[in-house]
């Protein structure tokens, strides 16, 4: 049964975005909204949107535009009603760049300046024992957590993640999903956009999916499907990946990939 919820304020909006690379139209008329998901039985729900599409379809281009790192050829991105600018959206790149000459704690203090907050975050996210470790001593999953905590240190409520499941084993992927869920629920307005080609993990962690693809005979990719996973009763269930509806939906998306 679908749990009670409602969508309220628009937190992030993509309005008619076109993107051109090397004289070629890469994205065409990309439009979508992320609204604040409010649940009467949960204090801080947060929202997670998965952006899915085959390699080379334009996901990275859209990622950079949403982050305010690149300007679209046409259209705009609004974050909290204001045009996006660099620094408004926290960005976690695929390779989790950290300062190699600083400890984990040092990396967080450099990002946000508040040592007490950094220590509290490390404790909350299971990294207290790695506070004085060097980045080279961390596993891939630990580096990912530190990179996310850097953005939380900066006070970001909007967070973009680039291929967060790439190179992770199944256990680490599960941990990454749990981390994304926990971060999204730190604050009611926390909004995480996960850009990936990993269908299973995107379905496991998201409440909404945007599927990017090309339409026959038309240049540029756009959002060809939006899936509300709450309405499909596929969101907010810890063991959803073990259920037949999950498997059926993943197959549906896999089949759609062949036509994108």
* DSSP conformation class of 42: B
**36-47 pLDDT tens trace:** 999 999 999 999
DSSP string, 67-89: TTSS--SEEEEEETTEE--TTSS
What CA–CA distance (Å, rounded) separates 138 from 126? 13
Domains in the chain (CATH in brackets) are 6-84+157-257 (3.40.50.300), 90-155 (no CATH)
pLDDT at 161: 95
Q: What is the mean pLDDT of the chain?
A: 93
Helix and strand numbers, DSSP H then E, in the chain: 7, 10
| 14, burial (CB in 10 Å: exposed 0-12, middle 13-18, buried 19+) | buried
- Give the model's pLDDT for residue 1: 53
pTM of the prediction? 0.93
H/E stretch holding 181 reads helix 170-184
Q: What is the DSSP letter of 39?
A: B
Q: What percent of the chain has pLDDT over 90?
A: 82
pLDDT digits (tens, 9 = 90+) for 122-169: 999 999 999 999 999 998 889 999 999 999 999 889 999 999 998 888
User: What span, in angstroms and rounded, lies between the C-alpha atoms of 229 and 16?
Assistant: 24
Tokens representing 10 are 């628009």
What would the mean pLDDT of 67-94 be, rounded to a whole number? Answer: 94
Query: Token pair of 68, please?
Result: 């305010």
Tell me which residue has tokens 């891939």: 140
SS3 content of the chain, % helix, strand, coil (to 5): 35, 30, 40
Look up tokens 């909204």; give the residue.
33
pLDDT of residue 256: 92
pLDDT at 223: 97
Say if residue 89's pLDDT is above 70: yes
Q: Residue 2's pLDDT band (boundaries 50, 70, 90)?
A: low
Q: Which pLDDT value is given to residue 146?
A: 94
Three-state secondary-structure class, residue 177: helix
Which of 256, 220, 205, 192 has the alpha carbon at shortest distance from 56? 220
SS3 state at 187:
coil
pLDDT digits (tens, 9 = 90+) for 204-215: 999 999 999 999
Angstrom distance (rounded) from CA 43 to CA 27: 37
CB atoms within 10 A of CB 2: 12
């Amino acid at each position: 049964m679908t749990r009670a919820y409602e969508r309220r304020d628009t937190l992030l909006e993509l309005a008619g975005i076109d993107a051109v690379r090397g004289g070629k139209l890469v994205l065409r008329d990309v439009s979508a909204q992320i609204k604040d998901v409010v649940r009467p039985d949960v204090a801080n729900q947060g929202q997670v949107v998965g952006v899915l599409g085959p390699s080379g379809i334009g996901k990275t281009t859209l990622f950079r535009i949403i982050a305010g790192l690149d300007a679209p050829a046409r259209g705009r991105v609004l974050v909290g009603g204001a045009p996006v600018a660099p620094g408004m959206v926290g960005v976690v790149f695929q390779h989790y760049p950290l300062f190699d000459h600083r400890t984990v704690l040092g990396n967080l203090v450099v990002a946000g300046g508040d040592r007490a907050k950094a220590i509290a975050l490390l404790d909350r996210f299971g990294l207290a024992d790695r506070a004085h470790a060097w980045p080279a001593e961390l596993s891939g999953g630990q580096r990912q957590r530190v990179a996310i905590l850097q953005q939380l240190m900066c006070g970001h409520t909007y967070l973009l993640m680039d291929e967060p499941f790439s190179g992770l084993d199944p256990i680490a992927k599960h941990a990454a999903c749990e981390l994304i869920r926990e971060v999204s629920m730190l604050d009611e307005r926390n909004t995480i956009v996960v850009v990936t080609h990993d269908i299973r993990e995107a379905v496991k962690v998201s409440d909404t999916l945007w599927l990017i693809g090309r339409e026959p005979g038309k240049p540029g990719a756009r959002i060809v499907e939006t899936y509300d996973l709450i309405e499909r009763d596929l969101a907010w269930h810890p063991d959803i990946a073990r259920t037949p509806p999950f498997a059926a939906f993943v197959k549906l998306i896999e089949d759609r990939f062949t036509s994108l």
